[in-house]
Structure 1
Amino acid sequence: MRNAGSSIDPPSDPFAAVRPESPVAPPADRRFSNDQTNGRSAGRKKLPPGVSPLPPGVSPDIFAQTPPHAGNGPSGQPGTLPPPAPPPQPWPMTTSVRVRRTGDDLTAEPSVVIAQEPVESRSRWRALWLVTGGLAFLFVLAYAIPATYMWGRVLPGTHVADVRIGGLTETEAIDRLHERFDGKDLEPVGLMVDGRRVDVLEPRDAGLTIDVEATVADAQTGFPSPLAVWQALTGENDLPLRISVNTAKFAQRIRKVAKQVDRPAGEGAIVYKGVRAQVVPPKDGAVLDQGATAEAIKRAFVNAPVSVALPVSPVRSRAGREAFDQALGMARSAVAAPITLVNGDRRVRLSRQVIAAGLKFVADEHGVVRPRFDAWKAVKGLETRLVGVAEAPREAGFVIENGAPKLVHARTGKGVDATQLAAAVAKVITDGGGRTIPVSLAIIQPTLTDEAAVKLGVKEKVHESTTTFPCCVARVVNIHKAADLVDGIVVKPGETFSLNEVIKAPDADRGFVPAQAIVDDHLAITMGGGVSQLATTMYMAAYFAGLEDVEHTPHQFHVRRYLPGQDAAVSYPDQDLRWRNDSEYGVLIKTAYTGTSVTVALWSTRQYDRVEAETSQRSDVTQPETRSESGPGCLPMEGAPGFTVTLTRVFYKDGKVVKRDRPQTTVYEPQAKVICEQARSSPPARRGGPSGQDAVELPGPEGTIDGDTGD
């Protein structure tokens, strides 16, 4: 191992390690002592050249001694250390300096002079502190005392509605509010719209209850702030009464109210009574603001008024009355003449009455009044005349063979394209021009298929009615024609049968003839007179089959061959016979007739053992008047009294009464006795044959033929 050399650790005496030839001067206490210097120098070991006796990083200057006199050593040489720092001076102050000469030195002696604060300034500050302290003391005194008193109680001036709870503890306030408001959720609230009551709301049923505890919890009962104390001493605090709401239940009740209040706008229209156009004026609707209604009911519940006005917003119709008045001229022109439908050499004329029955004017989405024509309704039953029986579509139906229904298969065929026909008729009405329209044909699928017909349950006769009439009069032609039109129709469950929709306007093109009928309070000759005989026969069949009566109009006079209260008069398009199939089975209509009778039978599945009519005694009997008339159209009448009768339909099943209809009261006017002045000298009118264009039925000995008024 090589010699590591001299140790670099400093010796115990750091001055011993300083080399003699080092320019570093010895300490002052040794520099001027020759004995010490020599003694120490004699025993020192010389270090090799370039080797420092000090540890690395230690400067020899730290061992230099300060000479006795600053600036020069004992031999007059300059000292090796910088002169000592000057003595510390005091912090400069505002002073006056006195200079005192001592020998050759000038000594400055500072003299501190303290400036005196004016007495007036000290007094001002002392007064300000006194005022501030006094105000602070008064503020603390004025706040602390009432705040301590109010601590733990409802702040004074607090009230809920008309109940004051200020100064009470929380428990006392709850008890007082319970005394005042318990049972309030049992008080009904009337709901009003435009001054009329539409509903009565029971708060508890609607999910509304008083929450007294939550109400008192809103009041401040802790240590009040200064602002709260000030408000309590100078003002009132109206605390709202809190309520608990069952959201789902309350919303459901509001929706129920809306169903009673909401009404859609009544859109105006131009419709026809016969062939006379008339305006149905539009009416504004209304809709309930359900959100505002909920808040109004809550306020009403809290304040306990007798009723509350509900917020309702108006709903405007698409077009006003002025728009329909302007279209009235177009509506009159629309039915001024018939419209002819053409398919090759086949032609069908839509009479003015048929056009009017399927036409109305309504406003579109832009508020423009336009014609709307129900082409399907207009051509129903006429398609065979346009395309032929062999090519026309056929619904599934039934025929009666051997006393039982037999299925007649449905068939797809050609029919009138109702959509294109409706557009063509509307164009003719709005643009004018010729009133002959070539029809477009389309493949028509039957609406009643074989499978659906089999499921209808048409299997037995549920009721049959027959009425009679005298032979060989013009009205017999119309009775037979009407019976042919309704024969074989199947009324599905839920559907409503309309005699006018099937027969339509009884015009000459369809085989009807003028005949005697009741018009207002007298007999007259009208086209299709006698159809009411079929209507009465069908009404009796539907009545005793237990089907729902939708619309029927008794004759103005009592016709003696009909049972009182069991007759029905029709007059296209104003008076109609309608009944609804309210059973779960289909109803097949079958008709038959002779020269003196007509029969209507309904086939289905029997629901009741029997249906009977309880008929009251005749009341309010009134005698007829006698009047004389003249003119070629006069028809004499013998006259008959008027009376009132009430019928109640009773349903039996399994030998028990299962249902009773509401009683129906029929009032018959007295049939006036009419004396025709010219009729006595005029020859009897010829009874018409099949054409019947000039057929007139003359009254018999009692003013009617077999008691027939002719309708």
Structure 2
Amino acid sequence: MKSSPETPSAVAEPAAEEPDAVPEPAGSRAKVRWLVAGGVVVVLASAMAASGVYAMAGDIPRGTEVLGIDLGGKSRAEAAVLVGAEAATRSTRPVRINVDGREVTLQATAVGLMIDVPATIDAAVGSGPRLFGSRRLPPVVRLDEKKLEGALRKQIPGGRISKKKPGIAFAGVAPVAAYPQAGLDLDRGVAADSVRAAWPVGDVAVVPLVERTPVTTKAQVDELIAGLAKPAVAAPVTVTVGAVKFQLTPAAIAKGLVFRSDADGRLTPAIDAVKLRAAAAREFAKAETPAQQAKISLAGGAPKIVASTPGKVVELGDELLAVLPKPAPRTITATLKDTPASGTDAELARLGIKERVSTFTTYFTGGAKSPRSQNIITIAKAVDGAIVKPGQTFSLNGHTGERGYHNGYKDAPVIVNGVLEPGVAGGASQFTTTLFNAAYYAGLQDVEHKPHSFYFSRYPAVIESTIFYPTLDLKFKNTTPYGILIDTATTGRSVTVSMWGTRIYDSVKTVYGPRRNHTSPPTVHREDGPKCLTSSGLPGFTQDAWRVIRKDGREVERKKFTWRYDPEPRFVCGEEE
């Protein structure tokens, strides 16, 4: 068929040929795969390295929390500031404890509770890296386990603790056993761990009683009695110290040999040197020399430090314990150990006692040999040389103890329930008044004093004080930055108290107001007898007195003292006619 000129023929053009394929070298496809994989590894390694750098930035790993504080990325110093501030706010937080079902609250300071900031930071630094999330670390908490145990035991009702510790005591020289018994008890370690965990986060620490069995058994207690306690007191022990020999009697050994039971009920024998020395004081004194404390002497009218000298004491312990199970005769050789004086010369020098800052004298009648005068002299000697350190409060009753016949005091007139009658240590109030005035004019702080109920003309009105053991005391506080030495002196008609230290005030004076509210003395008839003391009577009145202290040219204190004196009755012995 002829093709139409209008219709082109449908002849297909040949397809373009693809270029010849280049043959692929062996292994090249694997190489491409490795290149791709290697790229991924490099990317991952780079990402991991970047993550590691992020996680370990600073001294403390990211995501580390302590006490609710994010420490991640912080330096040690930065973390210590943050944790320290938070620990300070929590240090005043009391700890609540449920001990054996009973909730109690203890002050943190009472049991030594504290957050150890340096140890807490060390734990945070060593906690290891963390890429995701956070890690809450507990703070390191310190406490005094013995104090905690003691405080908790006071809160446990009697009878709840059924565990019995073993023990051996002496009745005279006869050993007496206390046998152990398993039962409920407080576990110190459990209690401490519970408090450490609960206190920092404000939770209640739960401390149950647990079943415990003492370590030492009944048979072991019997062995200790047979092998040590009985032979220990069967005979004396001779102690040789150089050329000196002395003996420890069975009675003294029984006082010094103790058997201590710890929290686990483990019974251990020991020598209590303090108890042994007290029981055999005269024997030890044959070989020992007591230490002489440094003191201040006022010879020549000026304070001078007299140096301390060390003492020598007999040292006993394991060697005595080792010989006690043996039969008589028993001997040991002991050595002398130097023991320093408790106060040093340098400590005294730092007190700055260099001049007299006040002095006060009161007068009495009867001569030095009257019972009342003797009491004044006795108490003055007891106080002479006392030192009151800065910030310390001096108590006259605390310093002298009970004033009785045993330490040289005699019967003399005292006021008892508003009545004059003989009593031991009568006259001590005159010394008290003298001491009070010396402290008053030294500018020391009045802590406790009470004037007499009746006025006596030998004392300054209002500015005076009585004393009665143990209910009435004289106390004053050294509020100066220097030490105070109390110097006393007596004659047959006077007692003087001087305060030595460093003068810090220009002057201390008393300004009196007028006497008011006068009352007349009544006449009182008393039953005649040895307790009845007559008196002519004195009027009563009220008066004010101001202590005025000046320093650096200006008034720094004006303190008011007020007292109302009762009228002293005119006491008459015998019935009214």
TM-score class, shorter: 0.3 to 0.5
TM-score, normalised with respect to structure 1: 0.38
Larger radius of gyration: 1
TM-score, normalised with respect to structure 2: 0.47
